[in-house]
Structure formats: structure tokens, C-alpha cells
Structure 1
Amino acid sequence: MTDRDVFLPVGAQPTLEDLVEQAVTAEELGYDRAWFPETWGRDAVTAMATAAERTDEIGIGTSIANIYSRSPALLGQTAATLQEATDGRFRLGVGPSGPIVIENWHGMEFGNPLRRTRETVEIVKRVLSGDPVSYDGEYFDLEGFRLRCDVPEPAPPVDASGLGPKAVELAGRFADGWHAVSYTRDGLTERLADLRRGAELGDRDPNDLRVTVSVSCCALEDGERARELVAQHTAFYIGGMGTFYRDNLARQGYETVANEIYERWQDGEKERATAIVREELRDQMGAAGTSDEAREQLRQYLDLDGLDAVNVSFPRGAGPEEVHETMTALAP
């Protein structure tokens, strides 16, 4: 059975208390895991540590912690500490994010995200093993230290995000799972093949890898409002967050649509970009509408082969009451 997770909007909620209360509610509603993203709002580590103190059973993880703002060794230390804080409920998700965030917010060169992701995953796993870490990489050289505190048992799994074929293949080869975002239902098939190929290159069993797909969801009594929020969210990422999400949609057979959304958004025609999402992608991306409508659309994701978990994610414009209404309507 496919797990049903929840992807909490760390930066968008009015207060940390609102965010932590959403994690508590998710546990009460029976969700399997609460994922915490990290962009340019609240940091995910503080939010997760606070949520760990207020929950008992729900899994907790990052989706994703970027691989530029913390060193791989610090990511390993953080994963070990959060595994302790959650009594074994933690799962680390890492990824490169994108050049807009990394260069304009963190002030770092984006460089080669594939190589840096690989080195980060390898180093984090060595840190979590408790053995001395000796690593000679293109980006990182480590020597002479090991984790000073007790090694967490079990060590938390380390997942990687990825959009393109090579990034997904890398996740299959080196990580314990893949985090997918901004995919149509039909567009997942090719990437799952890339994941399996990566696992084979790493001499690993593809069935041991955990595939988690995030779906932008909004289930409200006002179904029209819900559909508009999800369309706005999708248009923002395709049109306003650089070219990665646009290119990802184009690879899935929507090149003309992806380019038009991007161009309209860049020209300041945000309402038109949003309208294109509603016209061209309403049956393929997201789960939005009334409770019954959104549940049926989410079910189509849950029924896809090759997925281990579907993430109920929320549009960036949704307020706390709308997040709560959606979380309740789409609960397991």
C-alpha cells in the first residue's frame, strides 16, 4: 500500500506554532510522515526538532535540505541528532535546489549540482556509519574525524531529489530513495526507469529504494478557490523559479505549454500563465477542487505503480485554515 505523507509549508505559515500544530494534526489524522522543506523562510531543523517534541509516531524528514548551505559533515551531524530527537523517525532528504535560491539567497556558485549531490550523499552516509571519514572528492576533502557522539541506530536513510534523467539515476545509484516533484502522472514513468537504471549501476536492488512523489493539493468547500490556488502555485514554479521546472515539464511532453507559461510569467502576465495551467494541465498535475474531486485526483496518484509514498503538498497561497481543511479532507 502506498503511504500518504504530508509536505508542510515551513516558510509560508504565520508562526512556528502554526507549523508545528500542522505536524501534530497530521499525526492525529494518520499521515505516515511529515516532510519539512527549506527555502528562504524558517529553517527546517528548528521546525523539525520542535515537531519531534510534540509528536510520537509520525515520521519526520527534510524534503529537501539543500547541499550548499550546510557542509556534508554538518548534514550528517544534523541527521544523527534528529534521529535521536525523533527516536528513530527521521529521514534525510537532500538536493541541489536551484541557482536562483543558491546564488541569490545563499550567495554561492551553483556549480555542478550532480557531482556535489553525489559527494554529499556519500559523505553523509560515512558520517552516519560512525567510522573515520576519509574522502577525496572534487568539492570536499575530509580527513581525521569521526562522529563524536554515539552512532544512531538505525542510521537514518538518505534520500536525494532530482528532476532530470541523470539526477534521478544518481539517486538510484547512491541514495536510499528519490523525491519527485513537479511531475505529471504520465511523466513519472520514464524517470522511474532512470531510477532503476541507477540502482543497477550501483549494484543495488531497485525495490530497496523509496520513491516519494509530491502532489500539490487543495481540497476546499469552495472548489473553484482550491483549483485557482493549485494553478497559481504550479505557474509560479514553472514560470518564476528559473528554467529547471520548465525544462522538467517539457521533458514530459509539454514543451509548448511549459514555454508559454514561462514566457507569460516572465512578461508579468501571471494571471494568463495561471490560466494556461488550468486549461492545459488540470488533469495531470495536482489534486484540487471540492473534497470529493481532490480525493479522486489524489487516488489516481496513489494507484500508480512504482511509488512508495505520495506527499500531500499545499499551494504557497493557502492559509492555515485552508491547509487544515485540505489535510483533513485528504487524510488516509
Structure 2
Amino acid sequence: MSEADYHVHLPVAAQDSVQDFVDMAVRAEELGYEAVWLPETWGRDAVTIMTSIAHATDDVLIGSSIMNVYSRSPALLAQTAATLDEVSDGRFRLGIGPSGPAVIEGWHGIDFGNPLRRTREYVDIVKKVLRGDELDYEGEYFNLSGFRLRCEAPDPAPRVDVAAMGPKAVELAGRFGDGWHAILFTPDAMADRIEDFERGTELGDNDRGEQDVTLSLTCCALEDGERARHLTAQHAAFYVGAMGTYYRDSLARQGYEDEAHDVAAKWMNGDRDAAIDVFSDDMLDDFTAAGTPERAREELAKFAEVDGVDNVSIGFPRAASPAEIDATLEAFAPE
């Protein structure tokens, strides 16, 4: 296998309880995973869960992947990061990004506007707050002055990673962030986007050795390999068909334009099975690692070996049961 570290991307779908997320994080720590990342969508809030995980674990890094740059102000997001860093004894990592218009407008009721500029301003402001600087900031979205973090600033400050999909957004992550979080990319597309990220690194005069590229990969490894692949195809079809245009456009940029539009059309017309069937074996293998444990590990290696990928974060299909999640965690556990 490659030198990429293995992380865990906790389930995006709601679980039965907060304790389920905590138990998965504890299990990940026991199996030797370096970090656990938690998304925040329209289920339980991520902050409460990450606090619970911090209290239940000792060594595993804990991060948000992602918290959006709309539902909390940048100052509040920085306060939250500082507090989570304290309760986790310095193990917290902040991952932020724009999410997408489906969630931001449909759930939060906020105009999506210019996500690139907004993300840039969030990164700038959050970093200032976490350094303990007094806020003196004039931007397109935020004009702030007169305050600094009332408690002692964390030292070192938590890193601020940026989630991005398009070339300019990935370049922004390299230029202003401490890392990039990627999702739903083929190995070839990851290599192309890493070039964008590293161009941003140069523009920002940053040290690439101090930045991380983390790929969140949907994985499922079961003795029933067909079940694993069906769950994974179902998950991918949901993202392309139900989550607005972001994922559809990303697939189109990666050479799957016809398939992306076909999935979206079938999903929106209510023909979910047909949308899932669009994901051929080759297409599924291009975006995920699924099947029997042996096959899934072989597929994972293609992503982990991409030059410039520092971490692969093992994610799970939305409909996977706790037992199927645990089996997948075991199958990919670091050696």
C-alpha cells in the first residue's frame, strides 16, 4: 500500500444516537486510524458529537469535514474551533467549506451567493481569531473590528482545511488553507486537482509539506461483495441525483457528463433503481472502493497511491448498518 495515512469519515446519514458516532470513533481509535472526521448536514449538530468523541477518546485526531461557511458566523466558528481544541487536548482540526445551494438555501434559508469569496473570508477571519489577533477586517461579506478572542488562544492553533471540488476552489484551498478535503474524485482527477492545489500553495507562499490533502472515499467491504457494491452505488447516486448540481458537475468534469446527467434525471423522476444502475462496475471503481474485503482493498490502493494524497478517509454508504460499518472499518484498518 502507499504511504497515505488512513482516516475515518464518520457516516453522513443519521444514526440511532449520538453514542453510535462515539462508538465508531472509539472503534476507529482502537483499530489504529489516525483521525476521525464528522460531516454536518441536516442531522445532529457536529459540535456536540465531536465534544462527546473528545471525551471518549485519547489519541485520535478529531475534525469537522465539513462545517459550512453560512450557518455560523466566522467568529463563532473560530470560537467553536478554539473550544473543541481545548476539550480534545489539542486534537481538533477544522474543516470548512461552502457545502452546496441545496443545503444552504433549502435548509438554512441563506442565499448561496459567491461561495469562493465567502470561503476565503471565513478562512482569513478564523485564522486571525485562532491566532489571538484583534479583528480588523474589511471584506465583501464581513466588516469586523474591536474584538479578539476573550480566552487564551490555542497554541498551536488548530489547522483550517478547506473542502473544494472545482479547480479554482481547490486552488483557493492551497493558497489560503492548511489543507484540502476532496470527495467523489477518480484517481486521475485527483492528480489533476492536486496540481491546482499545489499552484495555490505556491501563490500563497505556503509550505506544501505542512499542508494535507485528504480524500474522503466511499468504501464498503463485506463478505457479500454484491451487497457492498449495491450500497455504494446507491450512496453515489444519491449524491449526484439529490444534492444539487455540485456533484453532478464534478462527475461531468471527470469524463462522465452523460452518466451524471442520466443519474440526476432518473433520480429526480423518482426512478431510483435506474439511477443506481447507471453506475457500471468500471464507473463505481473509479469513485469508490467496494466489494469483498480483498477487492475493496485493491480498489482503495488506487486512490491511496495517487502522488500528493496524504490521507484517505474511509467513508460509508448512507444505508450501511452499524455491523456493515464495523466490518468495513476492520477490513481497511491500518497495518
TM-score (normalised: structure 1):
0.98
Q: Check conservation: 1:11, 1:40, Cα contact below 8 A.
A: no
Deviations 1:262-299 (A, max 9, x none): 12212222111101113451221111111111111112
Q: Check conservation: 1:130, 1:151, Cα contact below 8 A.
A: yes
In structure 1, the residue matched to 2:223 is: 221
* 1-structure distance, mates of 2:24, 2:138: 42
Q: Check conservation: 2:191, 2:306, Cα contact below 8 A.
A: no
Residue identity matched to 1:223: G
In structure 2, the residue matched to 1:71 is: 73
Residue identity matched to 2:194: L
* 2-structure distance, mates of 1:298, 1:190: 18
In structure 1, the residue matched to 2:95 is: 93
Q: Check conservation: 1:13, 1:319, Cα contact below 8 A.
A: no
In structure 1, the residue matched to 2:264 is: 262
Query: What is the root-mean-square deviation of aligned Cα atoms in Å?
Result: 1.0
Partner of residue 5 from structure 2, selected from 3, 6, 25: 3
**Cα deviation, residue 206, structure 1:** 2.8
In structure 2, the residue matched to 1:206 is: 208
**Secondary structure in 2 aligned to 1:287?**
strand
Residue identity matched to 1:21: D
Partner of residue 120 from structure 2, selected from 118, 121, 133: 118
**Secondary structure in 2 aligned to 1:211?**
strand
**Cα deviation, residue 10, structure 1:** 5.2
**Cα deviation, residue 162, structure 1:** 0.5
* 1-structure distance, mates of 2:285, 2:311: 20
**Cα deviation, residue 222, structure 1:** 1.1
In structure 2, the residue matched to 1:293 is: 295
Q: Check conservation: 1:171, 1:178, Cα contact below 8 A.
A: yes
In structure 2, the residue matched to 1:142 is: 144
Residue identity matched to 1:270: R
**Secondary structure in 2 aligned to 1:283?**
helix
* 1-structure distance, mates of 2:251, 2:118: 24
> Gaps (5+ residues) in structure 2?
none
Comparing 47-56 with 292-301, which one deviates more in the overlay? 292-301
Residue identity matched to 1:13: Q
**Cα deviation, residue 301, structure 1:** 1.3
What are the residue-to-residue correspondences of 1:142-291 with 2, within 5 Å? Answer: 142-291=144-293
Q: Check conservation: 2:39, 2:46, Cα contact below 8 A.
A: yes
**Cα deviation, residue 112, structure 1:** 0.5
* 1-structure distance, mates of 2:197, 2:95: 16
Residue identity matched to 1:290: T
In structure 1, the residue matched to 2:53 is: 51
**Cα deviation, residue 2, structure 1:** 1.0
Is the counterpart of residue 26 in structure 1 residue 28 in structure 2?
Answer: yes
In structure 1, the residue matched to 2:132 is: 130
Deviations 1:176-207 (A, max 9, x none): 00000011112112111111111111122333
TM-score (normalised: structure 2):
0.97
Q: Check conservation: 2:4, 2:310, Cα contact below 8 A.
A: yes
Deviations 1:114-167 (A, max 9, x none): 000000000000000101111111101110000010111110000000010110
* 2-structure distance, mates of 1:280, 1:63: 27
* 2-structure distance, mates of 1:233, 1:283: 14
**Secondary structure in 2 aligned to 1:186?**
helix
Comparing 227-236 with 194-203, which one deviates more in the overlay? 194-203
* 2-structure distance, mates of 1:177, 1:22: 24
* 2-structure distance, mates of 1:260, 1:88: 45
Q: Check conservation: 1:10, 1:42, Cα contact below 8 A.
A: no
* 1-structure distance, mates of 2:8, 2:265: 31
* 2-structure distance, mates of 1:283, 1:326: 16
Q: Percent identity?
A: 59
**Cα deviation, residue 11, structure 1:** 4.2
In structure 1, the residue matched to 2:307 is: 305
Q: Check conservation: 1:63, 1:94, Cα contact below 8 A.
A: yes
* 2-structure distance, mates of 1:257, 1:45: 36
Q: Check conservation: 1:11, 1:42, Cα contact below 8 A.
A: no
* 1-structure distance, mates of 2:206, 2:154: 23
Q: Check conservation: 2:94, 2:158, Cα contact below 8 A.
A: yes
